[in-house]
Amino acid sequence: MTTTNLYDLSPLDLERSLADVVSPPFRIKQIEQWMYGHGVTSFEEMTNLPRELRASLAERFTLDFPEVVETTPPASDGSQKSLFRLKDGNRIEAVYMPMGDRVSVCLSSQAGCAVGCTFCVTGFFGAGRNLTPSEMVGQFFTIQQMYSEPVERMNVVFMGMGEPLLNFENLIATLDILYVNLAPKRITVSTSGIIPGIDDLARLPRRPNLAVSINAPDRKRREEIMPITKKYPLEGLIAAMKRYPTERGREMTAEYVLLAGWNDSPRDAIALAKLLRGVHAKVNAIPFNEDPNLPPWMKRPSDRAIDTFVETLVEHGVPVTVRRSKGRDIAAACGQLRGRTEPRRKRTA
């Protein structure tokens, strides 16, 4: 008999599963508090439950998280990346990023990515299976405990390995678990532009922030580096962004990976500003992270080129932030830590 990992259940399913085993009902609330408030990984830690109840829970259920196998030394900005090993041997990454008075954790949603963007190490190594809710919340709580951060101080971004909107059901269960202690505005889901997934998110009663990887100022160039554009065209994607409801005080993010000499000219900035006209979004410019697995022509622009690009956007009325090499020294872009230890593969066309 396989035992259910309680972290794989949404809070609603957890209550249903526990109802047969646990009484009185306030005990269920206590269990939820230990799990969603503290991220405990054994029933023994639930010290306010009777011993017999802890024992009978342990016979029926588990509370497993993936295991950390490596953590990089802190980068100059304090960010640190951790590599996790999953039960089936797959490896995934999560990143801890201090941000002023808050911290952000970047989570992976899949153990690889089938979308295959040509500038991305995760895409280079190819598709991987969907992560379960326990594997996603496990990254969150493990990092939260590693750094002893109060849960309320944390932001979550799904910008690690994988395409979260291609793992929709598990993503929703994970969001529901995180929402117990985190307001939806503290959570951002980043997508390569899976239009039906964006529309499904838009219909949820509680919505995370949406970040969309735009990365090129026109359809032709986007197709070159993001083959998914053929399936979900750029025009349709912009329309989906316009449909996505944003609450007061919140806005979407258009991510834009800056590649030297390719999409980083002032003219490209103007084209991007035009493309985003009517979209309630700020741009997050991400200077390309170089990696030996990626095409050698792809280079990070000079700081001057980055500054000019940003200034041009601002002049055209587009709010913009720059991800100043979030730990360039720790191979910060998704998949790069795992990529360093993966057996070398020839890039397939």
Residues that bind ligand SF4 (CB under 6 A): 113, 115-117, 120, 122-123, 162-163, 192, 213, 334
Does position 194 bind ligand SAH by CB under 6 A? no
**Of these residues, 59, 70, 93, 223, which one is catalytic?**
93
What is the x/- site pattern for ligand SAH, positions 201-230, by CB under 6 A?
------------x-x---------------
Give the one entry of ligand SAH, ligand SF4, none that residue 116 binds, where binding means its C-beta sits below a cut-off of 5 to 8 angstroms depending on kind.
ligand SF4
Closer residue to ligand SF4 in complex, CB, 32/342: 342
Please state the closest distance from residue 314 (CB atom) to ligand SF4, in A.
Answer: 26
Closer residue to ligand SF4 in complex, CB, 327/339: 339
Rounded Cα distance between 263 and 138, Å, is 37
77 touches 326 (CB < 8 A): yes
Tell which residue, 39, 98, 94, has the closest CA to residue 69: 94
Map tokens 């792809």 to a residue: 298
Give the one entry of ligand SF4, ligand SAH, none that residue 288 binds, where binding means its C-beta sits below a cut-off of 5 to 8 angstroms depending on kind.
ligand SAH
**Of these residues, 106, 117, 120, 334, which one is catalytic?**
334
Tell which residue, 182, 159, 145, 137, has the closest CA to residue 14: 137
Closer residue to ligand SF4 in complex, CB, 93/268: 93
Element (H, E) at 275: helix 266-275
DSSP string, 13-45: HHHHHHHTT--STHHHHHHHIIIIIH--SSGGG
Q: Pull the structure tokens for residue 207.
A: 């919505």
162 touches 128 (CB < 8 A): yes
Rounded Cα distance between 214 and 217, Å, is 8
Please state the closest distance from residue 13 (CB atom) to ligand SF4, in A.
Answer: 28
Catalytic residues: 93, 334
Q: Which residues bind ligand SAH (CB under 6 A)?
A: 119-120, 159, 163, 190-192, 213, 215, 255, 257, 286, 288-289, 291, 333-334
